[in-house]
Amino acid sequence: MMKQILLSGVIGLFLTLIGTPLLIKLLAKKGYGQYIRDDGPREHHSKRGTPTMGGIAFILATIIAYFLSKLITGYQVTFSGLLVLGLMAGMGLVGFLDDYIKIVKRRSLGLRAKAKMAGQLLVGIAFAVLALQFPDNRDQTPASTRLSFITDFGWKIGPVLFVIWALFMILAMSNGVNLTDGLDGLATGASVMVFGAYTFIGVWQFQESCANAEFLTNPAACFEVRDPLDLAVVASALMGACFGFLWWNTSPAKIFMGDTGSLALGGALAGLAICSRTELLLAVLGGLFVLITMSVVIQVGSFRLTGKRVFRMAPLQHHFELKGWSEVLVVVRFWIIQGMCVIVGLGIFYAGWAATK
């Protein structure tokens, strides 16, 4: 069973390693280059014209890797896996439209805010509604109407509140990754770590699944997740695909993921958290995305209330650039922060499971 996890990761890695340079040539030939904000750090102006929409590479690689791993191993696809892939692709489509308009209109802003929000809401609502369907033989659906941390807890919030909660998570994570995607390789490298964590979580949940309670030494510590192993397959495919893309996206970047990639990655992270019943844990595992998002919230809030800025520039990574840190230094140090967030998050996950034994 673990073969499909390894296969999906390796195939995803291979496809982006060889596919991304082909995409770079295609985008460069069509003149699909990035437009840089005039109010950003001066050093970024040299990046003008770098091919964007690179998220196409790892979105396609992830989907192909998932289905190829199933074809090779003979295992069936699951509704949980398809829903997370569908959420990723749907959010990626919204981002693609945003990127395409930026290129065609030759401006740094793409879709109007209302149109972009409408697209994200449409995709998010479709995912949330479908995630409460398709019960298995244990009556487990891909998502639960209970809030979750390392497992479900508390009372049921009902389908309407669940849809609102799922939308909040999807919008928060997709925009969080989007804000983080400001330096070469920063969002890609951080995402690799979180997808690696979800690969481990999926494997652990499968080994301790309540579906196998009769074989467990402590059934009270089991996980009620519909398709944990398949979520690990999706997470592994994403990890491998992002790793391969990082080869071309690291400084100096030959291609940017664009909103196509950042919205897709954020959607995938939210989908994995919702379907693995680790919704609140995602705030720890994806701590860097939360930190950078909060820097923008603080900056905007402070300016509106007091007329003063807390940071030299938001998001946070640009503040340190303006303080004199090199781009590579900021990226590596932020990767270290993200790595610590993943270690703490996995520690909490394991400690929570062990505490119920």
As annotated, the binding site includes 178, 259
- Angstrom CA distances, 213 to 106, 208, 275, 353, stand at 58, 8, 20, 15
Q: Which residue is associated with the tokens 């280059």?
A: 33
As a whole number of Å, the CA-based R_g of the chain is 20
Distance (Å, whole) CA 210 – CA 341 = 28
Distance (Å, whole) CA 180 – CA 243 = 17
* 224 Cβ contact partners less than 8 Å away, ≥ 6 residues apart: 140, 144, 151, 152, 210, 277
* 21 Cβ contact partners less than 8 Å away, ≥ 6 residues apart: 248, 254
291, burial (CB in 10 Å: exposed 0-12, middle 13-18, buried 19+): middle
Distance (Å, whole) CA 273 – CA 166 = 10
According to DSSP, residue 220 is labeled G
Residue ranges of E strands in the chain? 146-148, 152-156
Write the single-letter amino acid at 307.
G
Provide the CA 143 distance to its chain's centre, in angstroms.
17
Distance (Å, whole) CA 134 – CA 120 = 23
Q: Are 108 and 283 in contact (CB under 8 A)?
A: no
Where does the chain have alpha helices with state H?
2-30, 55-73, 79-105, 113-131, 158-180, 186-207, 228-249, 258-275, 282-285, 287-306, 316-322, 327-355
Supply φ then ψ for residue 288, to 5 degrees. Answer: -65, -40
Provide the CA 313 distance to its chain's centre, in angstroms.
24
Provide the CA 208 distance to its chain's centre, in angstroms.
25
According to DSSP, residue 223 is labeled B
Write the single-letter amino acid at 137.
N
Indicate the annotated binding residues for Mg(2+): 178, 259
